[in-house]
Amino acid sequence: MARSETAQPVNLSLRKIAVVVATAVGSISFAAQAAPKEDTITVTTAAAEQESAWGPAPTIAAKRTATATKTDTPIEKTPQSISVVTREEMDMKDPSTVKEALNYTPGVFATRGSSETLDVISIRGFSASTGANTNQYLDGLKLQGDNYSESSMDPYFLERIELMRGPTSVLYGKSNPGGIVSMVSKRPTTEPLKEVEFQMGTDNLYQTGFDFSDAIDDDGVFSYRLTGLGRSEDAQQTMVKSTRYAIAPAFSWRPDDKTDFTFLSNFQSDPDAGYYGWLPRVGTVVPYTDANGNAHKLDTDFNEGEQDNRMSRRQQQIGYSFAHAFDDTFTVRQNLRYTRLHTLYTSVYGNGFTAPTQINRAFVRSDEDLNSFTVDTQLQSAFATGAVDHTLLTGVDYLRMRNDINADYGSANPIDMVEPQYGNANVNVNFPYAVINRQEQTGLYAQDQAEWNHWVLTLGGRYDFAKTSTYTRSTSSLSEINDQQFTWRGGLNYVFDNGIAPYFSYSESFEPVAGSTKQGKPFDPSRGKQYEAGVKYVPKDMPVTVTAAVFQLTKDNNLTADPSDSAFSVQGGEIRSRGLELEAKAALTSNINLTAAYSYTDAEYTDDTLYQGKRPVEVPRNMASLWADYTFHETALSGLTLGAGARYVGDTSSFYTVGDNVNGTFNVGSYTLVDATVKYDLARVGMPGSSVGVKVNNLFNREYVSSCYRDYACYWGADRQVVATASFSF
């Protein structure tokens, strides 16, 4: 089974854990508070509110980013489109997954509907070639996944989430051309932080979290942060649980203002990672007909699997982030991380429809042990040549991944859509699969950000050495692909004094392609090329960020069916995506926050033996969103925040795999969802920093199909979810 296909869980309640955590947290709530500072210090210190690309932003409108350049750069000086979801925005909307945190971001589409097992998204019409996650980075380093092994980060542990659209290989190496999601972990602070959070909600949701940080010594040289979470809930589908407990210790050493060493770690266990299955087009997009001739659709909580379906995940990460400025010219940085990820996935899942009311099913069991090591070393040089100021970045990064897979694939008995009978799967294993997958990448890169008057020229290039191999135990055979690739990017910005900055850029990416032709020739890497033009508005004296971009993005060397034997593939296909994206984020007043977004994406197979001229699957042409929240600071309602938003997702396309219309297209309808939140600041009752609130996603409980990968793989969208949160600071 292709990796884009399926998954499910077991049953382990975390309510006891939540109680234990809450008790432990309460026992240390007497921790010392920071002494109040003198007014003369806090009022005029601009540095205290200075935003860092690797730290918090003071409002929802972040103005700096490191994702597009690997340097701390103002957004208006970056040559590609960037969106930033700040901690403040996440606290307002309280997302449970990274893909939910990106709900109001243009150009992003979550493809797996109500499933929260993996953060499966596409960017500008492209997703990872494996079909199961996207290009995700944490603290500047890639979260390299393989097969069913994918890291999953909880937004509660993140300071910010950045989305960079378009090819990114010039700085990050092999990747699909759509873009990357770059996350920044919460870091130690020298200001005391003691926070405990409790949640209850629909689907038997119970969650406890805590977030502690403080300086260890009087001088603030040493500081720590300890963030933890325990959660238990039912998945939308019957018989499925979702449980998680995680802790993230961090430690910082800052002996002076030129040196920062931060130890970062994350230990997470998901004994039950939720539902990860497939439903057919018949019964979701269109109704099925029962024996009496009546038309029906499947319930949104329908589970086509079995009670013992399970995906469990244990994730351990340990590493550091180091920076040292030798002087005003030279700064060295190094990010390093080791990851261990164990995944056990057992599932009977839907695999097609047989009239009148049968869902065909298949079986997979995969036991995987993934290890990865990543390090990125950079030298940043700031100097001038005449009237031109330069920020020169040179670096080398290295990634190594090994995934030991012991898997079985097979078939299972179908299940009736009208009267499903569980417990009679009759699994038949017909394809054992025991392999060791390895990936290795070494990249050398250089980038110059040259500024003259109002002009900013960004020019960079990179040379990669990438190796992918598969060792098959049953045959003791080794298949290996070695790729070498040069990619580059150039961009030009003009920054007006009022914050308006038009720009133009060209960027490239490459992505190794596993497998070979019928004749045994290994596939060459696919390449992405993008032309982008836009304008950014980031005024210095207002918390406002507005961006507009138009783009044309092409991926060539795409796999397409071999005309002489459709069981094999050849290269030569091409997908083109072009469109428009608009985004605005603003703290209009001390009372009002506003976010607005729109994207138009016209994607098409421009060269393909089967899909020529057709839309790729799961790519809405139009998406739009609007969110506003209002906080009362006066009158009897002081401390109350009201927020509401609407999300529109246009229709998507997919393909038939059987019948007279094989390889033909069908549409999945558009939908609009409304979200809302109410929060109350408990400072009014003598509890500063504490709050209570309720959020509602899909307020009107709209029933909708999120998308379809094929006619055998459709996904119900998430039902209405109500979550009550109480957060206390000590």
Q: Residue 562: pLDDT band by 50, 70, 90 thresholds?
A: confident
**525 pLDDT above the threshold of 90:** no
What is the pLDDT, as a whole number, of residue 49?
56
So what's the pLDDT on residue 565?
75
In this prediction, residue 512 carries a pLDDT of 85
Q: Which two tokens stand for residue 35?
A: 């002494």
Rounded percentage of the chain residues whose pLDDT exceeds 90: 81
Q: Quick: pLDDT tens for 161-185.
A: 999 999 999 999 998 899 999 999 9
Per-residue model confidence (pLDDT) at position 376: 98
3-state secondary structure of 332: strand
Q: How far apart are the C-alpha atoms of 654 and 281, rounded to whole Å?
A: 10
Q: What local confidence, expressed as pLDDT, does residue 134 receive?
A: 61
pLDDT of 45 higher than 50: no
Give the model's pLDDT for residue 558. 86
Picking from 33-47, 132-146, 459-473, which range would have the lowest pLDDT averaged per residue?
33-47
Residue-level pLDDT at 5: 39
pLDDT at residue number 41 = 34
- Between 394 and 3, the more confident residue is 394
pLDDT of residue 570: 85
Specify the pLDDT at position 290: 87
Q: Specify the pLDDT at position 528.
A: 95
Does pLDDT of 19 surpass 90? no
Whether the link from the prior residue into 543 is cis, omega within 30° of 0, is no
- In the sheet with 141-142, reading across from the earlier edge strand, the strands are 82-86, 158-165, 179-185, 136-138, 141-142
Cα distance between residue 57 and residue 162, in whole Å: 12
91 phi, psi to nearest 5 deg = -65, -35
Which two tokens mark 169? 């290989």
**Mean pLDDT across the chain, nearest whole number?**
90
Query: How far, in Å, CA of 456 to CA of 448, rounded?
Result: 10
Give the residue from 307, 289, 409 showing the smallest Cα distance to 353: 289
Residue corresponding to tokens 């920093």:
689
Query: What average pLDDT score do residues 242-271 get?
Result: 97
Rounded Cα gap, residues 381 and 395, in angstroms: 11
Q: Write out the two tokens for 481.
A: 């692909």
- Range list of H helices, 611-695: none
For residue 10, name the pLDDT band (cuts at 50, 70, 90). very low
More confident residue, 124 or 513: 124
Q: Note whether 563 and 592 are within 8 A (CB).
A: no
Q: Which two tokens stand for residue 673?
A: 């969802």
Contacts of 624 (CB under 8 A, 6+ apart): 597, 598, 599, 647, 648
Query: How long, in residues, is the chain?
Result: 730
Question: Which pLDDT score, from 0 to 100, does residue 516 have?
Answer: 73
How far is Cα 451 from Cα 430, in angstroms, rounded to an integer? 62
Give the separation between CA 7 and CA 361, rounded to whole angstroms.
Answer: 13
- Alpha carbons within 13 angstroms on the beta-carbon side of residue 619 total 23
Residues 488 and 490: their CA atoms lie apart, in Å, by 7
Give which of 305, 274, 344, 311 is closest to 424, Cα–Cα. Answer: 305
Query: Higher-confidence residue: 396 or 522?
Result: 396
Question: Which of 530, 575, 563, 564 shows the shortest CA–CA distance to 549?
Answer: 530
Looking at the predicted structure, is the pLDDT value of residue 23 above 60? Answer: no
pLDDT of 135 reads 83
pLDDT of residue 357: 93
> Is the Cα torsion angle 276, 281, 283, 284 positive or negative in sign?
positive
Give residue-wise pLDDT tens across range 256-269: 999 999 999 999 99
Within 10 angstroms of residue 418's Cβ, the number of other Cβ atoms is 14
Q: Does position 14 have pLDDT exceeding 60, yes or no?
A: no
Least reliable range by pLDDT among 12-21, 228-237, 605-614: 12-21
pLDDT for position 50: 78
What would the pLDDT profile of 665-692 be if each residue is shown by its tens digit? 999 999 999 999 999 999 988 899 899 9
Q: What are the Cα distances from residue 325, in Å, to 46, 87, 257, 549?
A: 21, 27, 9, 35
What's the confidence (pLDDT) of residue 128?
67
pTM as predicted:
0.90
CA nearest to 392, candidates 460, 328, 336, 325 = 460
**Using an 8 Å Cβ cutoff, are 105 and 163 in contact?**
yes
Phi then psi for 687, rounded to 5 degrees?
A: -130, 75
Residue 7, pLDDT above cutoff 70: no
